[in-house]
Amino acid sequence: MPAPAAPKPINLNVYIHRDLHGDSRLPSLREDYFSWLQTELEDLSGRTVMITFHQETGPAYLIDFKYRGDHRASLSAWKHTVLQHLEHASITLSPLDLYLLLTRDDIDSQAAGVAYLHDSFGIAATTSYRIAAHEVGHMLGALHKDGDNIFNGWWHETLMKNRDFFSFLRGNAYRFSDKNRDNIRTYLSQFD
């Protein structure tokens, strides 16, 4: 009897906005913002997570994207721009292909990041290590209401805790809550 096929991978395409080019954090972006997220997603989903950084190799209209302004309008424009890029490049969009614009600054005074729930598009600032992971969580079905605080010698917030309830007195758990892990597994299960 043949072994079951491995689940399809999650492909996270991170477009490094030009405002981060030359930033002192650039060499450590993968380690600081994504390596632990990759491990968390692989552990909870059983899928390989492939992260591709597009910096100088990304089309100028993606890495120079004008993201500052109303966060809802910026996300809509980002999605439209990426879809046009994919169509021009004859690339078929898969729900397991995620497109994240990583920026130096917050989008506006209300949002450091934004993403569509159960969709492939998001924008995240590097003003906190958790923002990119938080937005990827939304893309994969994680919800604010299912964020949690966990105790492991000290209180830590899971990735989906709403910014309004964030406390600098609690650490970053660098993981999704058990409920959001279930939400992500449920969403991904439809692509097996």
Query: Do the domain assignments include residue 100?
Result: yes
Is the pLDDT confidence value at 2 over 80?
no
For residues 133 and 138, give the distance between their C-alpha atoms in angstroms, rounded to a whole number: 9
Query: Do the domain assignments include residue 148?
Result: no
Tokens found for residue 29: 């972006």
Domain holding 133: CATH number? Answer: 3.40.390.10
Tokens found for residue 177: 């809550």
Mind listing the pLDDT tens digit for each residue in 7-52? 999 999 999 999 998 888 888 999 999 999 999 999 999 999 999 9
Tokens found for residue 51: 């992260």
pLDDT at 120: 98
Query: Do the domain assignments include residue 84?
Result: yes
For residues 44 and 165, give the distance between their C-alpha atoms in angstroms, rounded to a whole number: 25
88 DSSP 8-state letter:
H
pLDDT at 165: 55
Query: What are the b/e assignments for 143-177, b being 16+ CB within 10 Å?
Result: eeebbbeeeeeeebbbbbbeeeeeeeebebbbbbb
Domain range spanning residue 76? 10-143+177-190
Average pLDDT over residues 154-172: 74
Query: Do the domain assignments include residue 124?
Result: yes
Query: Do the domain assignments include residue 170?
Result: no
Query: Do the domain assignments include residue 59?
Result: yes
Mind listing the pLDDT tens digit for each residue in 106-139? 999 999 999 999 999 999 999 998 999 999 999 9
Query: Do the domain assignments include residue 157?
Result: no
- Indicate the burial class of 49 (C-beta count within 10 angstroms; 0-12, 13-18, 19 or more): buried
Q: Report the domain count for the chain.
A: 1
